[in-house]
Structure 1
Protein backbone atom coordinates (compact mmCIF):
# COMPACT_ATOMS: atom_id res chain seq x y z
CA UNK A 1 0.00 0.00 0.00
CA UNK A 2 2.94 2.33 -0.66
CA UNK A 3 0.97 4.65 -2.92
CA UNK A 4 -1.76 5.12 -0.32
CA UNK A 5 -1.43 7.91 2.21
CA UNK A 6 -2.90 7.21 5.65
CA UNK A 7 -4.18 10.40 7.24
CA UNK A 8 -4.15 9.93 11.00
CA UNK A 9 -7.21 10.88 13.06
CA UNK A 10 -7.41 13.73 15.54
CA UNK A 11 -9.41 13.59 18.80
CA UNK A 12 -11.93 16.22 17.65
CA UNK A 13 -15.39 14.87 16.76
CA UNK A 14 -18.24 16.61 14.95
CA UNK A 15 -21.81 15.35 14.87
CA UNK A 16 -24.09 15.69 11.86
CA UNK A 17 -27.45 17.29 12.62
CA UNK A 18 -29.47 14.68 10.76
CA UNK A 19 -28.03 11.39 9.47
CA UNK A 20 -28.84 10.55 5.86
CA UNK A 21 -31.56 7.96 5.36
CA UNK A 22 -29.32 5.41 3.66
CA UNK A 23 -26.74 5.90 6.42
CA UNK A 24 -29.30 4.93 9.06
CA UNK A 25 -30.28 1.81 7.10
CA UNK A 26 -26.63 0.86 6.60
CA UNK A 27 -25.89 1.30 10.32
CA UNK A 28 -28.61 -1.26 11.15
CA UNK A 29 -26.97 -3.77 8.81
CA UNK A 30 -23.55 -3.54 10.49
CA UNK A 31 -22.77 -5.76 13.48
CA UNK A 32 -21.36 -4.34 16.70
CA UNK A 33 -17.60 -3.87 16.69
CA UNK A 34 -17.23 -4.73 13.00
CA UNK A 35 -14.24 -3.84 10.85
CA UNK A 36 -15.54 -1.51 8.14
CA UNK A 37 -14.12 0.12 5.01
CA UNK A 38 -16.22 3.03 3.69
CA UNK A 39 -15.32 3.49 0.01
CA UNK A 40 -15.77 7.06 -1.18
CA UNK A 41 -16.40 8.11 2.40
CA UNK A 42 -16.88 11.82 1.65
CA UNK A 43 -16.77 13.94 4.80
CA UNK A 44 -16.85 10.92 7.13
CA UNK A 45 -20.45 11.27 8.34
CA UNK A 46 -21.25 7.57 7.86
CA UNK A 47 -17.98 6.50 9.47
CA UNK A 48 -18.70 8.64 12.51
CA UNK A 49 -22.23 7.23 12.76
CA UNK A 50 -20.97 3.63 12.61
CA UNK A 51 -18.24 4.29 15.17
CA UNK A 52 -20.68 5.98 17.55
CA UNK A 53 -23.75 3.77 17.17
CA UNK A 54 -22.19 0.38 16.37
CA UNK A 55 -18.75 0.63 17.94
CA UNK A 56 -17.33 -0.18 14.52
CA UNK A 57 -13.63 0.05 13.70
CA UNK A 58 -13.91 2.17 10.58
CA UNK A 59 -11.51 3.29 7.90
CA UNK A 60 -12.39 5.43 4.90
CA UNK A 61 -11.06 5.58 1.35
CA UNK A 62 -11.50 9.00 -0.26
CA UNK A 63 -9.91 10.55 -3.35
CA UNK A 64 -10.80 14.21 -2.66
CA UNK A 65 -8.16 15.69 -0.29
CA UNK A 66 -10.59 18.31 1.05
CA UNK A 67 -13.14 15.65 1.99
CA UNK A 68 -10.39 13.48 3.46
CA UNK A 69 -9.40 16.42 5.66
CA UNK A 70 -12.99 16.76 6.88
CA UNK A 71 -12.86 13.10 7.91
CA UNK A 72 -9.78 13.88 9.97
CA UNK A 73 -11.61 16.77 11.66
CA UNK A 74 -14.29 14.26 12.65
CA UNK A 75 -11.62 12.07 14.21
CA UNK A 76 -11.85 9.37 11.55
CA UNK A 77 -9.03 7.37 9.96
CA UNK A 78 -8.96 7.82 6.19
CA UNK A 79 -6.79 6.60 3.34
CA UNK A 80 -6.46 9.15 0.56
CA UNK A 81 -6.64 7.20 -2.66
CA UNK A 82 -8.63 6.16 -5.72
CA UNK A 83 -11.14 3.33 -5.26
CA UNK A 84 -10.71 2.28 -8.89
CA UNK A 85 -6.99 1.76 -8.40
CA UNK A 86 -6.31 1.20 -4.72
CA UNK A 87 -8.86 -1.35 -3.50
CA UNK A 88 -6.54 -4.10 -4.73
CA UNK A 89 -3.93 -2.90 -2.21
CA UNK A 90 -5.99 -4.17 0.74
CA UNK A 91 -5.44 -7.80 1.82
CA UNK A 92 -8.16 -10.40 1.37
CA UNK A 93 -10.58 -10.63 4.29
CA UNK A 94 -9.31 -7.39 5.85
CA UNK A 95 -12.83 -6.13 6.69
CA UNK A 96 -16.16 -7.46 7.87
CA UNK A 97 -17.99 -4.93 5.66
CA UNK A 98 -17.02 -2.90 2.62
CA UNK A 99 -19.51 -0.08 2.00
CA UNK A 100 -20.35 1.90 -1.14
CA UNK A 101 -22.80 4.58 0.00
CA UNK A 102 -23.97 6.38 -3.16
CA UNK A 103 -20.49 5.71 -4.52
CA UNK A 104 -20.58 2.71 -6.85
CA UNK A 105 -22.58 4.50 -9.56
CA UNK A 106 -19.89 7.18 -9.77
CA UNK A 107 -17.12 4.72 -10.63
CA UNK A 108 -16.03 4.03 -14.19
CA UNK A 109 -15.71 0.28 -13.55
CA UNK A 110 -18.24 -0.59 -10.83
CA UNK A 111 -18.09 -4.34 -11.40
CA UNK A 112 -14.32 -4.40 -10.91
CA UNK A 113 -14.73 -2.43 -7.67
CA UNK A 114 -17.44 -4.83 -6.47
CA UNK A 115 -15.19 -7.78 -7.22
CA UNK A 116 -12.40 -6.29 -5.12
CA UNK A 117 -14.84 -5.43 -2.32
CA UNK A 118 -16.06 -9.04 -2.24
CA UNK A 119 -12.44 -10.15 -1.90
CA UNK A 120 -11.47 -7.85 0.97
CA UNK A 121 -14.81 -7.90 2.85
CA UNK A 122 -16.97 -10.65 4.31
CA UNK A 123 -20.03 -8.61 3.28
CA UNK A 124 -20.58 -5.71 0.91
CA UNK A 125 -23.18 -2.97 1.43
CA UNK A 126 -24.24 -0.84 -1.54
CA UNK A 127 -26.74 2.02 -1.67
CA UNK A 128 -27.93 3.09 -5.12
CA UNK A 129 -30.21 5.71 -6.62
CA UNK A 130 -33.09 3.96 -8.42
CA UNK A 131 -33.34 4.95 -12.09
CA UNK A 132 -36.49 2.85 -12.49
CA UNK A 133 -38.83 4.83 -10.26
CA UNK A 134 -42.23 5.56 -11.81
CA UNK A 135 -41.65 9.30 -12.30
CA UNK A 136 -38.40 8.68 -14.18
CA UNK A 137 -40.14 6.13 -16.39
CA UNK A 138 -42.84 8.63 -17.28
CA UNK A 139 -40.19 11.29 -17.92
CA UNK A 140 -38.53 8.92 -20.38
CA UNK A 141 -41.89 8.04 -21.95
CA UNK A 142 -43.03 11.66 -22.25
CA UNK A 143 -39.79 13.46 -23.11
CA UNK A 144 -37.78 10.62 -24.57
CA UNK A 145 -34.88 11.33 -22.21
CA UNK A 146 -33.94 10.80 -18.56
CA UNK A 147 -32.31 14.20 -18.12
CA UNK A 148 -28.97 15.04 -16.54
CA UNK A 149 -27.60 12.91 -13.73
CA UNK A 150 -24.65 12.94 -11.34
CA UNK A 151 -24.24 9.18 -11.89
CA UNK A 152 -21.98 7.60 -14.50
CA UNK A 153 -24.08 4.43 -14.24
CA UNK A 154 -27.85 4.44 -13.79
CA UNK A 155 -29.22 1.31 -12.14
CA UNK A 156 -32.78 0.30 -11.48
CA UNK A 157 -33.31 -1.83 -8.38
CA UNK A 158 -33.77 -4.85 -10.64
CA UNK A 159 -30.66 -3.96 -12.67
CA UNK A 160 -28.52 -4.02 -9.55
CA UNK A 161 -30.14 -7.18 -8.17
CA UNK A 162 -29.41 -8.91 -11.49
CA UNK A 163 -25.84 -7.58 -11.50
CA UNK A 164 -25.23 -8.95 -8.00
CA UNK A 165 -26.55 -12.37 -8.98
CA UNK A 166 -24.51 -12.39 -12.20
CA UNK A 167 -21.43 -11.76 -10.06
CA UNK A 168 -22.48 -14.62 -7.75
CA UNK A 169 -23.10 -12.26 -4.84
CA UNK A 170 -25.93 -13.30 -2.56
CA UNK A 171 -28.53 -10.68 -1.60
CA UNK A 172 -28.90 -11.12 2.15
CA UNK A 173 -31.09 -8.03 2.56
CA UNK A 174 -32.50 -5.28 0.33
CA UNK A 175 -34.07 -2.17 1.87
CA UNK A 176 -36.01 0.41 -0.19
CA UNK A 177 -35.99 4.09 0.76
CA UNK A 178 -38.24 6.98 -0.23
CA UNK A 179 -37.88 10.67 0.66
CA UNK A 180 -34.82 9.79 2.75
CA UNK A 181 -36.66 7.30 4.95
CA UNK A 182 -36.66 3.51 5.06
CA UNK A 183 -39.56 1.96 3.19
CA UNK A 184 -41.46 3.02 0.09
CA UNK A 185 -45.13 2.82 -0.92
CA UNK A 186 -46.04 -0.70 -2.07
CA UNK A 187 -42.34 -1.71 -2.18
CA UNK A 188 -42.66 -5.17 -0.63
CA UNK A 189 -40.99 -6.99 -3.54
CA UNK A 190 -38.05 -6.21 -5.84
CA UNK A 191 -40.55 -5.60 -8.67
CA UNK A 192 -42.52 -3.05 -6.66
CA UNK A 193 -39.41 -1.42 -5.22
CA UNK A 194 -38.22 -1.04 -8.80
CA UNK A 195 -41.25 1.18 -9.45
CA UNK A 196 -41.72 3.06 -6.20
CA UNK A 197 -38.51 3.58 -4.20
CA UNK A 198 -36.05 6.44 -4.73
CA UNK A 199 -33.04 4.47 -3.60
CA UNK A 200 -32.19 1.06 -2.18
CA UNK A 201 -29.58 -0.46 0.12
CA UNK A 202 -28.29 -3.97 -0.57
CA UNK A 203 -26.43 -6.23 1.87
CA UNK A 204 -24.42 -8.67 -0.25
CA UNK A 205 -22.49 -11.81 0.63
CA UNK A 206 -19.65 -13.13 -1.57
Structure 2
Protein backbone atom coordinates (compact mmCIF):
# COMPACT_ATOMS: atom_id res chain seq x y z
CA UNK A 1 0.00 0.00 0.00
CA UNK A 2 2.73 2.44 -0.96
CA UNK A 3 2.37 5.69 -2.88
CA UNK A 4 -0.85 6.61 -1.10
CA UNK A 5 -1.58 10.19 -0.13
CA UNK A 6 -0.95 10.50 3.65
CA UNK A 7 -4.63 10.62 4.66
CA UNK A 8 -5.36 7.60 2.44
CA UNK A 9 -2.45 5.72 4.02
CA UNK A 10 -3.98 6.32 7.46
CA UNK A 11 -7.34 5.02 6.26
CA UNK A 12 -5.82 1.98 4.50
CA UNK A 13 -3.87 1.05 7.62
CA UNK A 14 -7.03 1.00 9.75
CA UNK A 15 -9.56 -0.76 7.50
CA UNK A 16 -9.97 -4.37 8.60
CA UNK A 17 -8.80 -7.08 6.21
CA UNK A 18 -11.62 -8.87 4.42
CA UNK A 19 -14.16 -6.14 5.15
CA UNK A 20 -16.36 -4.23 2.69
CA UNK A 21 -15.96 -0.54 1.87
CA UNK A 22 -17.67 2.11 -0.22
CA UNK A 23 -15.25 4.87 -1.26
CA UNK A 24 -17.33 7.95 -2.06
CA UNK A 25 -15.52 10.38 -4.31
CA UNK A 26 -13.00 7.63 -5.01
CA UNK A 27 -11.14 9.45 -7.79
CA UNK A 28 -9.20 6.99 -9.93
CA UNK A 29 -9.57 4.26 -7.30
CA UNK A 30 -6.10 4.44 -5.77
CA UNK A 31 -7.33 3.71 -2.24
CA UNK A 32 -9.73 1.02 -3.44
CA UNK A 33 -6.94 -0.80 -5.29
CA UNK A 34 -4.70 -0.65 -2.22
CA UNK A 35 -7.46 -2.04 -0.01
CA UNK A 36 -8.36 -4.78 -2.50
CA UNK A 37 -4.78 -5.83 -3.22
CA UNK A 38 -3.32 -5.38 0.25
CA UNK A 39 -6.15 -6.46 2.51
CA UNK A 40 -8.67 -8.38 0.42
CA UNK A 41 -11.31 -5.71 0.98
CA UNK A 42 -14.46 -5.82 -1.15
CA UNK A 43 -14.08 -2.20 -2.26
CA UNK A 44 -16.71 -0.34 -4.27
CA UNK A 45 -16.63 3.25 -5.43
CA UNK A 46 -18.83 6.21 -6.31
CA UNK A 47 -17.23 8.95 -8.38
CA UNK A 48 -18.58 12.05 -10.14
CA UNK A 49 -15.86 12.49 -12.79
CA UNK A 50 -16.35 10.21 -15.81
CA UNK A 51 -12.62 10.13 -16.59
CA UNK A 52 -11.81 8.92 -13.08
CA UNK A 53 -14.57 6.31 -13.32
CA UNK A 54 -13.05 4.99 -16.57
CA UNK A 55 -9.57 4.91 -15.01
CA UNK A 56 -10.83 2.97 -11.99
CA UNK A 57 -12.78 0.49 -14.09
CA UNK A 58 -9.71 -0.07 -16.30
CA UNK A 59 -7.91 -1.15 -13.10
CA UNK A 60 -10.59 -3.79 -12.51
CA UNK A 61 -12.38 -1.82 -9.79
CA UNK A 62 -16.12 -1.69 -9.20
CA UNK A 63 -16.97 2.00 -9.56
CA UNK A 64 -20.17 3.72 -10.65
CA UNK A 65 -20.56 7.30 -11.75
CA UNK A 66 -22.66 9.24 -9.29
CA UNK A 67 -22.95 12.30 -7.12
CA UNK A 68 -22.55 12.09 -3.34
CA UNK A 69 -24.99 14.98 -2.94
CA UNK A 70 -27.84 13.10 -4.64
CA UNK A 71 -27.08 9.38 -4.90
CA UNK A 72 -26.19 8.14 -1.40
CA UNK A 73 -29.86 7.62 -0.54
CA UNK A 74 -29.91 4.72 -3.00
CA UNK A 75 -27.66 2.61 -0.76
CA UNK A 76 -29.29 0.45 1.95
CA UNK A 77 -28.47 1.10 5.61
CA UNK A 78 -25.42 -0.72 6.98
CA UNK A 79 -24.61 -2.14 3.54
CA UNK A 80 -20.84 -1.72 4.06
CA UNK A 81 -18.45 -2.17 6.95
CA UNK A 82 -16.90 1.20 6.05
CA UNK A 83 -18.05 4.27 4.15
CA UNK A 84 -15.05 6.40 3.17
CA UNK A 85 -15.06 10.07 2.22
CA UNK A 86 -11.54 11.40 1.67
CA UNK A 87 -10.94 15.05 0.77
CA UNK A 88 -14.53 15.36 -0.45
CA UNK A 89 -16.65 16.60 2.46
CA UNK A 90 -15.74 20.24 1.84
CA UNK A 91 -16.81 19.95 -1.82
CA UNK A 92 -20.35 18.74 -1.12
CA UNK A 93 -23.44 20.94 -1.02
CA UNK A 94 -24.60 19.82 2.44
CA UNK A 95 -21.81 18.21 4.48
CA UNK A 96 -24.25 17.60 7.35
CA UNK A 97 -26.46 15.43 5.15
CA UNK A 98 -23.46 13.64 3.66
CA UNK A 99 -22.16 12.80 7.13
CA UNK A 100 -25.57 11.41 8.08
CA UNK A 101 -25.63 9.26 4.92
CA UNK A 102 -22.07 8.00 5.48
CA UNK A 103 -22.89 6.76 8.95
CA UNK A 104 -26.15 5.25 7.72
CA UNK A 105 -24.55 3.33 4.81
CA UNK A 106 -21.41 2.23 6.65
CA UNK A 107 -21.24 0.62 10.06
CA UNK A 108 -18.23 2.89 10.50
CA UNK A 109 -17.11 5.87 8.44
CA UNK A 110 -13.77 7.48 7.64
CA UNK A 111 -13.76 11.17 6.79
CA UNK A 112 -10.66 13.18 5.87
CA UNK A 113 -10.49 16.86 4.99
CA UNK A 114 -8.14 19.85 4.84
CA UNK A 115 -8.22 21.93 8.01
CA UNK A 116 -9.10 25.50 7.08
CA UNK A 117 -8.15 26.71 10.57
CA UNK A 118 -4.47 25.85 10.04
CA UNK A 119 -2.23 28.72 11.08
CA UNK A 120 -1.02 29.40 7.50
CA UNK A 121 -4.61 29.82 6.32
CA UNK A 122 -5.31 32.16 9.24
CA UNK A 123 -2.17 34.20 8.54
CA UNK A 124 -2.93 34.47 4.85
CA UNK A 125 -6.34 35.91 5.65
CA UNK A 126 -5.19 38.10 8.53
CA UNK A 127 -2.06 39.60 7.01
CA UNK A 128 -2.66 39.27 3.29
CA UNK A 129 -6.43 39.57 3.26
CA UNK A 130 -6.67 36.80 0.67
CA UNK A 131 -7.58 33.13 0.54
CA UNK A 132 -4.39 31.08 0.66
CA UNK A 133 -2.82 29.06 -2.12
CA UNK A 134 -0.63 26.32 -0.66
CA UNK A 135 0.78 22.94 -1.64
CA UNK A 136 -2.27 21.27 -0.09
CA UNK A 137 -4.78 23.92 -1.24
CA UNK A 138 -3.34 24.71 -4.68
CA UNK A 139 -6.31 26.36 -6.42
CA UNK A 140 -7.27 30.01 -6.22
CA UNK A 141 -10.54 30.81 -4.45
CA UNK A 142 -12.46 31.13 -7.74
CA UNK A 143 -11.22 27.80 -9.15
CA UNK A 144 -11.40 25.58 -6.09
CA UNK A 145 -13.84 22.71 -5.63
CA UNK A 146 -13.88 23.53 -1.90
CA UNK A 147 -17.19 25.24 -1.19
CA UNK A 148 -17.23 24.75 2.61
CA UNK A 149 -14.26 25.69 4.72
CA UNK A 150 -14.37 23.12 7.50
CA UNK A 151 -12.11 23.14 10.54
CA UNK A 152 -11.31 20.33 12.95
CA UNK A 153 -13.36 21.98 15.68
CA UNK A 154 -16.29 22.50 13.26
CA UNK A 155 -16.21 18.83 12.33
CA UNK A 156 -16.11 17.69 15.95
CA UNK A 157 -19.12 19.91 16.71
CA UNK A 158 -21.06 18.53 13.71
CA UNK A 159 -20.31 14.94 14.77
CA UNK A 160 -21.52 15.70 18.30
CA UNK A 161 -24.64 17.43 16.97
CA UNK A 162 -25.47 14.30 14.95
CA UNK A 163 -24.87 12.03 17.94
CA UNK A 164 -21.88 10.32 16.33
CA UNK A 165 -19.04 8.69 18.21
CA UNK A 166 -15.52 9.60 17.13
CA UNK A 167 -13.64 6.33 17.58
CA UNK A 168 -10.26 7.67 16.48
CA UNK A 169 -8.72 10.71 14.90
CA UNK A 170 -5.41 11.39 13.18
CA UNK A 171 -3.87 14.74 12.35
CA UNK A 172 -1.31 15.45 9.65
CA UNK A 173 1.24 18.24 9.50
CA UNK A 174 2.60 18.19 5.99
CA UNK A 175 2.79 14.50 5.21
CA UNK A 176 3.55 13.38 8.79
CA UNK A 177 1.30 12.50 11.72
CA UNK A 178 1.23 14.90 14.64
CA UNK A 179 -0.05 14.82 18.21
CA UNK A 180 -3.66 15.96 18.73
CA UNK A 181 -2.63 18.88 20.94
CA UNK A 182 -3.57 22.15 19.20
CA UNK A 183 -4.57 20.22 16.06
CA UNK A 184 -7.13 22.87 15.04
CA UNK A 185 -4.26 25.35 14.74
CA UNK A 186 -1.34 23.15 13.64
CA UNK A 187 -2.76 20.28 11.56
CA UNK A 188 -3.14 20.72 7.82
CA UNK A 189 -5.35 17.64 7.39
CA UNK A 190 -7.51 15.52 9.65
CA UNK A 191 -8.84 11.97 9.45
CA UNK A 192 -11.72 10.78 11.63
CA UNK A 193 -13.19 7.32 12.18
CA UNK A 194 -16.86 7.56 13.20
CA UNK A 195 -19.79 5.37 14.09
CA UNK A 196 -23.42 6.02 14.94
**Contact 1:43-1:71 within 8 A present in 2 as well:** yes
Counterpart of 2:67? 82
Matched, 1:40 2:25: yes
Matched, 1:128 2:113: yes
SS of the residue 1:141 aligns to: helix
8 Å CA contact 1:127, 1:200 repeated in 2? yes
1:180 aligns with 2:175: yes
1:166 equivalent in structure 2: 161
Q: Which residue of 2 aligns with 1:9?
A: none
Give 1:28's aligned residue. Answer: 13
The CA deviation at 1:17 is: 6.9
1:193 aligns with 2:183: yes
Q: Secondary structure at the match of 2:17?
A: coil
Q: Residue 150 of structure 2 is aligned with which of 128, 151, 155?
A: 155
Which residue is 1:203 aligned to? 193
2:63 match: secondary structure: strand
2:47: which partner in 1? 62
CA contact (8 A) 1:93 1:120 kept: yes
Query: What is the DSSP-based 3-state SS (H/G/I as helix, E as strand, rest coil) of the residue aligned with 1:146?
Result: coil
SS of residue in 1 equivalent to 2:157: helix
CA contact (8 A) 2:46 2:65 kept: yes
Is 1:91 aligned to 2:81, yes or no?
Answer: no
Answer yes or no: is the 8 Å Cα contact 2:170–2:180 preserved in 1.
no
Secondary structure in 1 aligned to 2:23? strand
Task: Verify the 8 A CA contact 2:171 2:191 in the aligned structure 1.
Answer: yes
Q: Deviations over 1:108-128 (max 9, x none)?
A: 111111111111110110001
Deviates more, 1:156-165 or 1:38-47: 156-165
Counterpart CA distance in 1 for 2:38 and 2:185 is: 32
TM-score, normalisation: structure 2: 0.90
Structure 2 counterpart SS, 1:131: coil
TM-score normalized with structure 1 length = 0.86
Q: What corresponds to 2:128 in structure 1?
A: 143
2:56–2:62 CA contact under 8 A, matched in 1: yes
